[in-house]
Amino acid sequence: MAQRLPEAELQLLRAQADAPHDLRVLKLLALVRFKLGRLAEARQIYREAAQIAPRMPPSASTWASSRSSWTGSTKP
């Protein structure tokens, strides 16, 4: 799978050119760069995403992981 990360990065860069403020594209591009070990670049992209949507509600997975930390369970 790691060998496909550069290919994924190229596809995401093309998508970003078409929709530079698409949060899904930005988050995925940051993730790919993180997995490639390019942490500074990933961090910068996450910052860009935060500037675009600073009050975006947390995702369900974020909610579930934070819930488990204070209840000990991920069940609703």
Q: Identify the CA nearest to 30 among candidates 22, 57, 60, 64.
A: 22
- Token representation of residue 19: 């929709």
pTM of the model: 0.68
Q: What domains does the chain contain, in order, with CATH numbers?
A: 2-66 (1.25.40)
Give whole-number Cα distances, 14 to 19, 20, 58, 60, in Å: 9, 10, 26, 28
pLDDT digits (tens, 9 = 90+) for 30-73: 999 999 999 999 999 999 998 888 765 555 444 444 444 444 54
51 vs 1: which has the higher pLDDT: 51
